[in-house]
């Protein structure tokens, strides 16, 4: 009950902030919620199933291009684009799972990294369709949902909140469901989980598809809400970012991705106002956190204050 209250409370606070925040932070928080949804997708695979992927940008970009190209070449609206992006990412994740899950550990990292790079180069190769490295601007129709323009600040914030709410509560439900507990068991000791009779391969495949779908939904939402589709989102740095958010916020915690994404966003935003070496500041912060809070911010909360925190 306390757990449910905490997560619903966060959503309520985010809902209230819609009316209270000044324009700049209002826009930032909308962006952070979409990015945190991406982090939640990543956390499902890394935090719960223990699979460290270095290729999640492939899923984020699949969602982004699945949505964007349907708008660009098919004239679809936001609803269909969102669905197409999510399905496209899930399909790509399903295909990648067939290959990548034959490996584990460092090999899994390399395979996912390699496929993500192949995805990035594919986007460049089909430049006539994808806009290549420059990308393209989403048509106005792609931001319309039932007569509502999702490009306006209020609608954008609420749409981002809706996506984040669905991802957060879905993640919470999953963490407490048998499926989520089996994933944790796989993370802790896969051999033992298999010995207990669980089909660990099927669970990992399911986790990867679900993780890809959530990441893709975030990518599609990013394209729809912020109006741009570009190959840079398929580059390796967008595979590293969700890893950092999850590590900062706390791997294997439901709230970790949001806390990490929020922390990282404002760290960069504030540090860039002070020095052009702002990534150095971000790096130092990461090192300090790794030294003094190795389980991430929410992981520390779980360790010190609330052992039952999911």
Partner 1 sequence: MTVKTKATTTRRGAMRALTGGIAAASLPMWARYTHAQSAAPIRIGFQQHRTGIGAAYGRWYGRATEAAVQLINEGGGINGRPVEIVAEDDGTDPKRGAEVVEKFANQHKVDVGFGTLFSHVVIGSAPRAGELKLPYFVVSEGTHVASGMLNRYTLQPGITDVRSQVISMAPFITDTLGKKVTMIFPDYGFGYDHRDALGPAIEAQGGEILERIAIPPTETSFTRYFPRIPRDTEVLYHVMVGPGVLTFVKELGEFFGGQGPELFGFIDSLEAVAIDSPGLEFLEGSHFWEGMCRHAQPDDSEHAAAYRAAVGVDDRGAALSDARDVSTYGHMFGCWETLHVIKAGMEAAGYAGPQDRAALIEAVEAMEDMPESLAHPQGAKRFNGRTHQVFGHQNISRVEGGRLIRVHRTSIEDTLYPDMVDYTAQPF
Q: How many CA atoms lie within 13 A of 146 on its CB side?
A: 3
Among 157, 164, 226, 258, binds partner 1 (CB under 8 A): 226
Tokens of 13: 């606070």
What is the SS3 assignment for 309?
coil
Q: Is 216 in the site for partner 1 (CB under 8 A)?
A: no
**Could you say whether residue 75 binds partner 1 (CB under 8 A)?**
no
With a CB cutoff of 8 Å and minimum separation 6, the contacts of 125 are none
Half-sphere exposure of 203 (CA within 13 A, CB side): 24
Per CB under 8 A, the segment of 85-93, 199-207, 268-276, 289-297 that binds partner 1 is 268-276
- Strand ranges, E, within 132-280: 136-137, 144-145, 148-149, 228-229
Spatial contact of 86 and 45, defined as CB atoms under 8 Å apart? no
Following DSSP, what letter does each residue of 22-84 receive, concatenated? Answer: -HHHHHHHHHHHHHHHHHHHHHIIIIIT----S-THHHHHHHHHHHHHHHHHH---HHHHHHH
Does residue 263 touch partner 1 according to CB under 8 A? no
Which CB sits closer to partner 1, 19 or 292? Answer: 19
Contact flag: residue 180 with partner 1 (CB under 8 A): no
Among 135, 180, 249, 296, interactor with partner 1 by CB under 8 A: 135
Q: Which of 7, 17, 27, 285 binds partner 1 (CB under 8 A)?
A: 27
Q: What whole-number distance in Å separates Cα of residue 286 and Cα of residue 291?
A: 9
- Residue 20 binds partner 1, judged by CB under 8 A: no
Taking CB under 8 A as the criterion, the residue among 55, 63, 66, 151 binding partner 1 is 151
Binds partner 1 by CB under 8 A, chosen from 20, 23, 106, 274: 23
Q: Does 134 bind partner 1 (CB under 8 A)?
A: yes
Task: Report if residue 85 touches partner 1, rule: CB under 8 A.
Answer: no
Taking CB under 8 A as the criterion, the residue among 55, 180, 230, 256 binding partner 1 is 230
> Cβ-count burial of 114 within 10 angstroms (0-12 exposed, 13-18 middle, 19+ buried)?
middle
Rounded to whole angstroms, the maximal C-alpha distance in the chain is 55
39 forms part of the interface with partner 1 (CB under 8 A): no
Structure tokens at 207: 């986790």
Residue of the chain from 2, 22, 106, 291 that contacts partner 1 (CB under 8 A): 22
CB of 232 to partner 1, least distance (A): 5
Q: Is 138 in the site for partner 1 (CB under 8 A)?
A: yes
State in angstroms the smallest separation of the CB of 274 from partner 1.
11
> How far lies 270's CA from each of 33, 154, 210, 267, 281, in Å?
18, 24, 34, 5, 10
Residues in contact with partner 1 by CB under 8 A are: 22-24, 27-28, 31, 121, 124-125, 127, 131-138, 151-152, 226-228, 230-233, 269, 272-273, 276, 278-279
């Amino acid at each position: 009950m306390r757990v449910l209250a905490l997560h619903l409370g966060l959503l309520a606070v985010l809902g209230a902030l819609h009316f209270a925040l000044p324009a700049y932070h209002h826009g930032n928080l909308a962006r952070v919620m979409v990015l945190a949804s991406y982090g939640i997708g990543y956390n499902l695979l890394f935090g719960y199933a223990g699979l460290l992927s270095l290729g999640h940008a492939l899923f984020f970009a699949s969602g982004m291009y699945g949505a964007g190209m349907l708008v660009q070449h098919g004239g679809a609206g936001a609803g269909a684009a969102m669905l197409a992006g999510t399905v496209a990412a899930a399909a790509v994740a399903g295909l990648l799972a067939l290959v990548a899950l034959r490996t584990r550990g460092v090999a899994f990292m390399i395979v996912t990294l390699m496929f993500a790079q192949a995805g990035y180069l594919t986007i460049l190769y089909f430049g006539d369709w994808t806009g290549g490295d420059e990308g393209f601007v989403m048509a106005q129709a792609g931001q319309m949902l039932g007569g509502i323009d999702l490009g306006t600040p209020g609608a954008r914030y609420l749409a981002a909140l809706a996506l984040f709410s669905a991802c957060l509560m879905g993640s919470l439900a999953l963490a407490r469901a048998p499926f989520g507990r089996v994933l944790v068991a796989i993370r802790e000791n896969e051999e033992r989980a298999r010995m207990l009779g669980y089909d660990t391969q099927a669970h990992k495949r399911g986790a990867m598809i679900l993780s890809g779908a959530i990441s893709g939904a975030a990518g599609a939402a990013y394209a729809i809400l912020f109006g741009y589709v570009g190959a840079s989102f398929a580059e390796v740095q967008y595979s590293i970012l969700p890893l950092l958010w999850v590590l900062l916020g706390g791997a294997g915690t439901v709230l970790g991705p949001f806390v990490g994404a929020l922390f990282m966003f404002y760290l960069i935003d504030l540090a860039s106002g002070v020095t052009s070496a702002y990534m150095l500041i971000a790096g130092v912060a990461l090192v300090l956190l790794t030294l003094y809070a190795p389980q991430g911010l929410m992981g520390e909360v779980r360790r010190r204050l609330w052992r039952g925190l999911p």
